Structure 1
């Protein structure tokens, strides 16, 4: 073989090696590439939670047919209507307080005394609340009332308190609780200072709320729990809140 032929063969070998390397580096034709539309992976499951009748530091949130939330401290205190789906949280643990919740089925107890517990996304919990509220409103909404004379006030509308500048209201609630936000917005629209305390993020706030409920001879009930100068209101009712504000503006404290 001549020298020229040997040089040509070496050049062909180098070219073949380059082509093989490129082929190995290139993705296969059927390989799927992420074009940005692939759904994000589901959140990781929470660590196991052993829920028993005597579990300490427990806070249970159940939902009634109206879509209102109620807080209890023991499984035995959750009524039959709310036992199938109850949010569970331990005040000494951070798990289950962010984007993924613990939910328990208190109608299912295992032979070892523990209840069935699973994970639920925060948005799924909030969607369930909205669905129940919408269904309740659809069933109970009154027919549209006829418009009254221009400038007339609605019958029975409570008068706004005349002096609320010195009144501060404390709202005990949770970030996902729509009535809690509504209560805060309602107060601020009236120019009333509102302090919102998250009983899920702050164990001290939860203990403070329970202490006020006990002193007012109330227990459980729906959130928000609203403290208007010692007047403890369970749930958000504009009418009840207006009356409490009127008493507070008049100097009433409890």
Structure 2
């Protein structure tokens, strides 16, 4: 039964981590329905998030090699873009971490996050400017930092990190694809830092007997995330953000009906 739960949560994480629908919200809701909500479950969620992160590293391995290359030339996406994009969320997350974990990780708060995030995504699609940044290498440092500021909205579970960053990028004049790709790459250091911090606090809940379900969840999340990333990048310019916003509203409605 636990292996089945690991597979289900791995699929949920892999499908939703990089789509603008909130993986954290989906994991909270799925864990709630599966009655998998103890401290070990929280540690499990951290581990499968690392599986999804690995998928991005594999997909964009050339980008990451270039970013850390000593031969990196001026122009194009650089480490400075990533650092500037990380700073706002790191600062906000450091000061608000305990508040978020204590008060915002529940199905009730996720419902509000889904709705608010969906509204923001619609506004981004409606108010978007004529795209002037159609390639990652054309992204400015100011845009990178500003997208990082928008990323802070995702500290509310259910809002969606990718939804916040992609919407922010679109409002700042990037194409949906460019915003999505920067969101994916920016996710790696942010999620490694956040997951590593959480793992240090909860590693005591790990046991040798849990290795099979943690391994299964990690591998499933990795494989599903690979498929989700490729599919999303192919279709984001065509479908944009509004369909994902509508899905969020529908999900929020059903969850609200169940909870209340």
Say whether the fold is shared (TM-score over 0.5): no
Higher relative contact order (CA 8 A, sep 6+): 2
- Higher-helix-fraction structure: 2
Larger radius of gyration: 1
Q: Which has the higher strand share?
A: 1
The normalised TM-score by structure 2 is 0.29
